[in-house]
Structure 1
């Protein structure tokens, strides 16, 4: 896999994929959409994606069932489905992960995909190319999903990198990526 990209819903809906591209779509539940005009739309070029996976999961950190009956908190059900999607996406050139804004749920899933593939370069590429704030609840499922953490000697730098990314400290983030032995210049993708 050459890259993982994070899109908002609107970007994904109108994106014309290159060959060998898969997509993981994270939809909002009707419980949280309510009376909103915002809806989960079909892809304009859906038949041109090599693989498509759709999952309904809300951008929440805890159950809000009392306030929003029918809301969907990420659980092992969704985690199992993602593991299936990750396995199916292994041979693709690139994977697009999208949620409503392309910031939280999609970021967490994209990070888990990079870790599933054991590709530190793909994870660092997410930090370099996207302004993201990954959903911590979804990320907390890494071990439950059987996705091994990075080597112990790398983990402090990965944690620092996450903190720098969340704090939008891009200059320090690039230095940390270099300390990980990755040339961040090679990770930059041109915005399409």
Structure 2
């Protein structure tokens, strides 16, 4: 009987473990690559709305270059110059840049909240792309050049992480794929 109970307990533990893996327990876990999760969520969201969002390495490179240029700008030493100012003044092209502090988030709830914030900001950024006052009032949103993106237009996206003014940021760049 003891052997049967031990065997039953082992089978139950194995079944629970498989159930948790199958259901995605642990979710993104502590080793999340939040940058890729943000990009994947945007692509999936667009796909479910029968629109196209394409993640490209060229856009990743543009985001990385933007961070590098902003961090190297001498104006970054001035405490009155914001990260938004640095991104706006160091970018080339016609992009929307969404930026948020970037760090290791411990819980899946906070990771999902971060991703939802990025997605929501993108939706509003495109909706109000022609409204300069909207952009002026948003701390994590900046237009570089003169982006023109309609709500149904296909977009190209890319992201990079890096340090600007002694703080880590994730910078998401978005442009009209037709441009």
The answer to whether TM tops 0.5 is: no
- With normalisation by structure 2, the TM-score equals 0.25
> Which protein shows a greater Rg?
2
Query: Per residue, is there more helix in 1 or in 2?
Result: 2
Query: Per residue, is there more strand in 1 or in 2?
Result: 2
